[in-house]
Amino acid sequence: MKNFKKTIAVVGAGLLLAAGMPFVVSADNTVDVRVRVEGDENNLYFDTIAVKSDKSEVTVADALKVLDEQNDTIEIKGVDTGYITQVNDIAGGKYGGWDGWYYCVNGDVPMVGIGDYNLKEGDSVVLYYGGYPCQIPYADTEKISEGLISFKSNDMVFDSEGNSSNVVNPVTDAKVTVNGDNYTTNEKGEITIPEDKLTEQLAVQIEKKDSTGAPAVLRFEPDYVIEYKSDIGDTETSTETDTNSVTGFDSDPGTDSETDTSSETSSTTSSETSSNTSSAAASSTTSANNSSRTNTTNTTGTISKAAPQLSTESQTAQTGDGRIYFAVGVLAAAIIVGVIMLLVKKKED
């Protein structure tokens, strides 16, 4: 009988462990997110990273902490406080104005800090250094067949009562590089590419500084490409969804909401849908964009974005608190063990 009791005790302990273990694992959240870091002069980082958290949600702060800990070339200060003060040797206020570090997520501008913005699988985070305001550009390729590309931003403005609204503004007097050739945007934010320069792939980059020397426009991704295809007779429709987010003041991203505070935390989102009904089409291929807008037009150019390439380590984010489920599992196992022990005691009696 003693051996039987020992067996019951071992089985009971096993049930407790088996009931608890799955729920302990489920408490870990892992999502793959696209992360880009733009300094004041050049891109510092651009890749997909796996972000794991023992909480029910994974935040922007979690992603930046993983980047800081796992990458020897990136050092981020202020993640724990939610206020990014410095990345590598680039500190806020470098140019003596309202310049500093901002973050963007999927082109959305949340009115929360980096520690309160929850990420999901496939999100794109952009941490960048900019002045105030800093435009988040997107390329309008409606007239690409004429060699015309227009650069715009969806900027947030506030009225006297503090109510916000979005205004589409041209990105003027910006330096645009297309396949190594330099252009300057006019008062409409346009550049005109000669016909003999209209190749099937146009590698595009944009840059602009404000009066202090701080970035006034967020650069495109390092692999930002506009694909131009002629003689396409069929109607084409494509959808573009871009994401950014900022740590701090108003960065003029094109989104529905933005916080204008000295806490250096803001963000931007963007989505664009356009239809092509003519004989030319253009598409911008990249893993994440830095614009926020929603436009539907009949055009000769179509902007699209390739989905970020995610790592094979990606896992589905778990919802709920694993600790609660663990407690429920332990309680259920304890009840089972208790019933077995009562049956044994009854048999002995």
pLDDT tens sequence across 4-22? 555 555 555 555 554 544 4
Instruction: Determine the Cα–Cα distance for residues 199 and 194; give it in Å rounded to an integer.
Output: 10
How many percent of the chain have pLDDT more than 90?
Answer: 46
According to the model, what pLDDT value does residue 55 have? 84
Residue with tokens 């806490």: 263
Integer CA distances (angstroms), 158 to 97, 114, 121, 190, 256, in order: 21, 23, 33, 26, 12
According to the model, what pLDDT value does residue 315 have? 37
Instruction: Determine the Cα–Cα distance for residues 334 and 327; give it in Å rounded to an integer.
Output: 10
Of 148, 150, 191, 144, give the one whose Cα is nearest residue 300: 144
Maximum C-alpha span of the chain? 99
Over residues 280-306, the mean pLDDT reads 40
Return the top range by mean pLDDT from 33-47, 161-175, 262-276, 305-319.
Answer: 33-47
According to the model, what pLDDT value does residue 334 have? 66
Confidence of residue 29 (pLDDT cuts 50, 70, 90): confident
The residue with greater pLDDT, 102 or 250, is 102
Is the pLDDT at 201 greater than 50? The verdict is yes
Model pLDDT for residues 51-80, shown as the tens digit of each residue? 988 888 999 999 999 999 999 999 999 999
CA 259-110-98 angle, 5° bins? 35
Q: How far is CA 241 from the centre of its chain?
A: 11
Using the Cα atoms of residue 144, residue 150, residue 156 and residue 160 in order, give the sign of their dihedral.
negative
Integer CA distances (angstroms), 344 to 12, 15, 319, 333, in order: 13, 17, 40, 17
According to the model, what pLDDT value does residue 163 have? 86
Model pLDDT for residues 140-194, shown as the tens digit of each residue? 999 999 999 999 998 878 888 888 888 999 999 999 999 999 999 999 999 999 9
Which residues are CB-contacts of 37 (< 8 A; sequence separation ≥ 6)? Answer: 43, 44, 45, 46, 67, 74, 87, 126, 127, 128
Is the pLDDT at 274 greater than 50? The verdict is no
Q: What is the overall mean pLDDT for the chain?
A: 73
Q: How far is CA 4 from the centre of its chain?
A: 58
